[in-house]
């Protein structure tokens, strides 16, 4: 699932991208999406979100899990905004 053959969006070097660990809750959601992941470049230090190798070749179960997780996060955020922003 690594994009080692891809070039860095910042410096353009090939073979320097490696999967990066999640640093916050949003990045954990992204990394569990089966489509996107966080990457970093060992050459220039760039860090960001890119499509995984094989992008949309995902299972239906993965799509359902992602939808459920994002729905839960959405409803929690809406609840918090409604009840705690007065």
pLDDT tens figures, 4-22: 567 888 888 887 788 888 8
**pTM recorded for the entire structure:** 0.54
**Is 70 within the bounds of a domain?**
yes
**Is 2 within the bounds of a domain?**
no
Burial of 17 from C-beta contacts in 10 A (0-12 / 13-18 / 19+): buried
* pLDDT for 35 beyond 70: yes
| Residue carrying structure tokens 């949003």 | 26
What mean pLDDT is reported for the chain? 80
**Is 27 within the bounds of a domain?**
yes
Nearest to 20 by CA among 12, 10, 30: 30
Domain span at residue 66? 17-84
**Residue 82 phi, psi dihedral angles, 5° rounding:** -65, -40
**Is 3 within the bounds of a domain?**
no
Q: What is the DSSP letter of 47?
A: E
């Amino acid at each position: 699932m690594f994009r080692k053959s891809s070039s860095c969006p910042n410096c353009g070097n090939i073979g320097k991208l490696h999967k990066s660990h999640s640093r916050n809750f949003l990045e954990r959601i992204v990394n569990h999406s089966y489509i996107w992941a966080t990457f970093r470049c060992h050459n220039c230090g760039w860090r960001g979100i890119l499509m995984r190798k094989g992008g949309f070749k995902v299972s239906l179960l993965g799509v359902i899990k992602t939808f459920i997780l994002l729905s839960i996060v959405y409803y929690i955020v809406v609840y918090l905004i409604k009840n705690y922003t007065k």
